Amino acid sequence: MRAELTFRLSTLFDVRMTNLFARLARPVTLFSIVYAQTGGNLSNCRGGCDGGEQCVGNPFSQPVGDSECNFCARGRCYWPCNFETLCFCQSVEVGSPRVPPAPKSGFRPNAEILDPCQAGILTEEAFNQIVQPSNEEGRALYTYDGLCQAIMQFNKYHDEKFAGMGTETNTRADLAAFLAHAATDTYNFSVTREALHCVDPVTGSDAQTYCKPCKEEHYNFETKSCSQDYFAGIDSSYPDYCDLTRQGTMGCMCDKSVRPVSVVPGHADLTGYMAADDAYFTRGSIELKWNYDYLGASMSMGDGDYLCDNPDLVSTSPRHACETFGLFHAVAHNSFSTDYISRHVIKLLQGAPGFTSTWKR
Amino acid sequence: MIFGTQGTSAHKQVMKENFGGSVEVLYGELECPSNQWTSAKHVTQVKDRVR
């Protein structure tokens, strides 16, 4: 069954993008592309790492371990060492943030627009004209301050800035494109959690959110209801979206055996619920879904593995909801001709809010 | 199989003034190629998505 997708990319592109550019863009009289190295941590370790650094893997588009990247610093010239930013030099100092680098655009950072909010490129008024959630949940989560904080956090750790490279027009286009994709992925900033995996969420008396997951065959996409308890059956655990082959430095650990809570605090009559913070499923402005997505997003913001233990922050914290752009907008490391990436992307997108067929709401 | 040695991102595509490229990075498997002569399935997916 193919659910109706009411938010239209053509609308986004033809109307919303036009509106976005009208709001964000100014007449372009000069367009210059400045090719320049941005230096810093953008490296695949070719030529070795500096003293006090080691070559480690950036596994968020392809599974690659530190051990494989170690060879790059010793002169290996084939995979993973021949692929930009798949390996990078990382300080060996304990506690130093491990931040996967973003692919280089070739543009130079614009010193006058490193913070597009402070520079007046993205004003609160423009944001509120563009981001108009249809429900209170979306209005509370997708906020101007949250996006500004996320941009600052991301840019603090990356030479390849978000909405801070090239000309002012480039930065406005970056913002417009991000907001267009986020609008599509979140049903116009109104979806905060993947509905199939969090039917009828409730807040317990402990202030935590609890979700009722549902198996696809039991989910009604029209009424957004579930006909059967996910946990009914022999194996009463929730193993979804945790890739056992990508853990540790390659993804959040899957050691949490997600099981139903015996009782939702303050809601003794509810059954079939799990703590939202125990489970990985689709959340965020540009969706995070799998355990490795959450680690990648967290690391790209210099937050270590913080989101691994607190994945539901992406649905409750404005900064974390917006900062997911870091992984997909600037760090996502895809190659158009890579079979693996294609499978990876489809896997990421399946079941995510905002899409149908393979995308179910 | 990996072809090429440079990664890309939606951000990089946008910097090249290629919004379609950013769609391909994020949703390529669903919607590309959208040329009706090479992939009717993808054309249908695009139409369904933008309906």
Look at A345 and B51 and tell me if their CB atoms are within 8 Å. Answer: no
Instruction: Write the single-letter amino acid at A239.
Output: P
**Cβ distance A199 to A224 under 8 Å?**
yes
Is the pLDDT at A201 greater than 50? The verdict is: yes
Specify the range with the lowest mean pLDDT, choosing from A17-21, A88-92, A117-121, A200-204: A17-21
∠ Cα A104 B33 A221 (to 5°)? 100
Which residue in chain A has the smallest CA separation from B25? A334
* Average pLDDT estimate for A1-12: 32
Which residues, 6 or more positions from A272, have their beta carbon under 8 angstroms from its beta carbon? A212, A213, A229, A230, A231, A232, A260
**Cβ distance A176 to B17 under 8 Å?**
no
CB-based contact (8 Å) between A129 and chain B? no
**Cβ distance A108 to A71 under 8 Å?**
no
CA distance A88 to A96: 14
Q: What is the pLDDT of residues A43-78, one digit of tens each?
A: 678 778 888 999 998 877 678 888 889 888 888 888
State how far Cα A262 lies from the chain centre: 31
Copy the structure tokens of residue A135: 């429900």
Is the pLDDT at A287 greater than 50? The verdict is: yes
Nearest to A328 among B10, B29, B45 (CB): B10
Specify the range with the lowest mean pLDDT, choosing from A7-11, A66-70, A136-140, A222-226: A7-11
Q: With the CA atoms of A323, A116, A169 and A42 taken in that order, what torsion angle do they form, in degrees rounded to the nearest 10? A: -60
Alpha helices in A108-248, H assignment, sequence order: 124-130, 136-141, 144-156, 168-185
CB-based contact (8 Å) between A286 and chain B? yes
Beta strand pairing status for A53-57 and A87-91?
antiparallel
* Average pLDDT estimate for A142-154: 93
Q: Could you tell me the sign of the dihedral formed by the alpha carbons of A253, A259, A262, A263, in that order? A: positive
More confident residue, A93 or A82: A93
**Cβ distance A359 to A350 under 8 Å?**
yes
Q: What is the pLDDT of residues A228-243, one digit of tens each?
A: 999 987 778 888 899 9
* pLDDT of A5: 31
Peptide bond into A97 cis (omega under 30): no
* pLDDT of A116: 94
Look at A334 and B45 and tell me if their CB atoms are within 8 Å. Answer: no
CB-based contact (8 Å) between A128 and chain B? no
More confident residue, A156 or A358: A156
* pLDDT of A23: 47
Residue numbers in A near B42 (CB within 8 A) = none
More confident residue, A11 or A219: A219
* Average pLDDT estimate for A178-204: 90
Band of residue A41 on the pLDDT scale cut at 50, 70, 90: very low
∠ Cα A46 A52 A57 (to 5°)? 45
* Average pLDDT estimate for A301-308: 88
Interface ipTM:
0.74
* Average pLDDT estimate for A245-263: 83
Which segments in chain B show pLDDT lower than 50? 1-4, 51
Is the pLDDT at A279 greater than 60? The verdict is: yes
Bridge partners, A283 (sequence order): A193, A288
Which residues, 6 or more positions from A234, have their beta carbon under 8 angstroms from its beta carbon? none
| Average of per-residue pLDDT values in chain A | 77
CA distance A242 to A256: 10
More confident residue, B7 or A159: A159
> How much is the CA Rg of chain A, to the nearest whole Å?
21
Which residue in chain B has the smallest CA separation from A349? B27
Look at B30 and A359 and tell me if their CB atoms are within 8 Å. Answer: yes
Residue numbers in A near B11 (CB within 8 A) = 102, 105, 160, 162, 174, 329-330
More confident residue, B14 or A341: B14
* pLDDT of A167: 94
Is the pLDDT at A207 greater than 50? The verdict is: yes
